[in-house]
Homo-oligomer: A and B are copies of this chain.
Amino acid sequence: MKRIALIVAGGSGTRMGTEIPKQFLLVANKPILMHTIEAFYLSKVDTILVVLPSNQWEAWQQLCARHQFSIPHQIVPGGDARFSSVKNGLDLIDDNSLVAIHDGVRPFISAAIINQSFETALEKGNAIASVPLKDSIRKVELLSNKSVNRSSYYLIQTPQTFNSKQIKAAYEKAEHINFTDDAGVLEENGHAIHLMMGDYKNIKITTPEDLLIAEVFYQSIKANHLPPQ
């Protein structure tokens, strides 16, 4: 089946406290979104779709020119909310593909995890990158809170990779748009969800601290992947 990356970059920069949309902020002198697209380009993917609000298209074109960014990708108009942005992308995909939906501001995803997610989704219908929770958590209720067993909880990342027919049908039938991720949309349509191991380094860059961390991770990853002398 054809492998499609659907990279969702709808951010406006509000939480980051910047004028610049967070996907355009620089890590190692290059916009975060370019790092993310490169990660998929290095995997066995056939097509890269990038959802971007239409008022950012011109800035993106200028950035691509300035950074001589030439990886082929198709721009898709973003919607008002993440739900409609993803749906705009899914509308361009046929029923006989695998689609990896990925946050545009998770640039540190590895080709190995991307490829594994397509393979798992081919076999099981979907594959959701996730990592075990390392911290203690408590569940807050109306008037109290209680400890819960952290080993039962996984932090959900992207890519979330799906049989395109199943995820498209789920998005068509969804009765509200307040999902925190795409697995939730599929689950509501009655499908079992399959978790696979993600990576603690696969962070979502949403705050100024994250941007600092991203810079360090980039240097660390680069140091570990120097070409042989």
Please report A residues at the B interface, Cβ cutoff 8 Å: 128, 130, 133-141, 144-148, 150, 152-157, 180-181, 183-184, 187, 192-193, 195, 200-201, 204, 206-207, 209, 212-213, 215-217, 220
Contact = CB atoms under 8 A, between A and B. Distances in A.
Contact of A153 (B128, B137, B184, B207): B137
A137 B156 contact: yes
Nearest to A155: B135
Interface of A is mostly: mixed
Contact of A212 (B128, B135, B206, B220): B220
Contacts of A152: 139-141
A181 to B, nearest CB: 5
Given A138-B154, A155-B137, A183 B147 contact: yes
Contacts of A215: 216
19 contacts: A128-B138, A133-B137, A135-B204, A137-B155, A137-B156, A138-B193, A140-B153, A140-B195, A145-B193, A145-B195, A146-B193, A148-B153, A150-B180, A200-B207, A200-B209, A201-B209, A209-B217, A212-B217, A213-B213
B209 A220 contact: yes
B156 A136 contact: yes
A150 to B, nearest CB: 6
Contacts of A146: 187, 193
Contacts of A157: 135
User: Which 6 residue pairs of A and B lie closest in terms of their CB atoms, listed nearest first?
Assistant: A136-B156, A136-B180, A212-B216, A136-B181, A135-B155, A147-B184
A122 to B, nearest CB: 20
A215 to B, nearest CB: 7
Nearest to A148: B153
A132 to B, nearest CB: 9
Contacts of A187: 146-147
Given A137-B153, A141-B152, 12 more contacts: A128-B138, A133-B137, A135-B204, A137-B156, A138-B154, A140-B153, A140-B154, A140-B195, A145-B193, A147-B183, A201-B209, A212-B217
